[in-house]
Amino acid sequence: NKYVGDFIKQEVDNFLHKNADIAEVIQQKIQESEKERKAIAGVTKLARERAKKANLHNRKLRDCRIHLNDPKGKGLEEDSCIFITEGDSASGSITKSRDVNTQAVFSLRGKPLNSFGLTKKVVYENEEFNLLQAALNIEDGLDGLRYNKVIVATDADVDGMHIRLLLITFFLQFFPDLIKKGHVYILQTPLFRVRNKKKTIYCYSEDERVNAINELSPNPEITRFKGLGEISPDEFKHFIGKDMRLEQVSLRKTDAVKELLEFYMGKNTMERQNFIIDNLVIEEDLAS
């Protein structure tokens, strides 16, 4: 009733009056939300029309047949996933190897935009982000999410790591619940193939390579995969099956998203430079 409403309002007013720092944070959040609403108001309608049109002829998306929350999923809804790859070469191998019932593929055109500090307006203005948002169906929240697992599949080199970071930044900046609720993963693919005439071992680390060499000695054939595109579709099917190695992207309760993004994706501060220097690992050329 009105008395209860007035009482609650008075208590909130008193609390904010006594806690000016909290009141300031709330006011800032309100202002940021209002600014964002105004920024995207003029582009959402056009973006949605473009997305619908593009999805009908989107060469970058190879969809699957069964999706999360599919009423006719036959119990395979939880297996639905989408691989986000870099370039046509990697996406080609995955597309030929995938399970067309539950595995979709979305191909990026090189490195995506660093979205840190940008408003959600960029999601609608950037064609690639807009298409990815539409493919996942998360514009209005996770209720319509089409895939249980969103899997980032990039090369295990500097460029691939950078693309992973840019995609995670995009999700944290605009769709943090996608990570908080455990839907985002990194695909681990082998760095080496060690084989002799009788056996083949795929190795995901230097330690595994050494163990494989010892097991298959003497003189096994050693191949280093420099990128996903170098792995044939016949081999790739072993790495995206039921036993594929996935590393879940997660947040601890103590993690502050804004501060994390500021540190890793903000201006190149001396603090971050020192962190990189202190944690830099120089690897020998493992191919030699």
Query: Cα(36)–Cα(159) distance, rounded to whole angstroms?
Result: 31
Q: How many residues does the chain have?
A: 288
- Identify the active-site residue in 6, 32, 36, 157: 157
3-state secondary structure of 194: strand
Task: Enumerate the β-bridge partners of residue 185.
Answer: 151, 248
Nearest of 96, 119, 101 to residue 42 by alpha carbon: 119
Residue type, 212: A
Which residue's structure tokens are 């080496």? 192
Residue type, 158: V
Query: Cα(174)–Cα(135) distance, rounded to whole angstroms?
Result: 15
177 is catalytic: no
159 is catalytic: yes
- Identify the active-site residue in 6, 159, 206, 247: 159
Nearest of 202, 201, 195, 191 to residue 224 by alpha carbon: 191
Task: Give the pair of three-digit tokens for residue 169.
Answer: 């930044």
Residue 142 DSSP symbol: G
Task: Give the pair of three-digit tokens for residue 12.
Answer: 């909130």
Nearest of 225, 226, 229, 200 to residue 213 by alpha carbon: 200
3-state secondary structure of 267: coil
Annotated catalytic residues are 86, 155, 157, 159
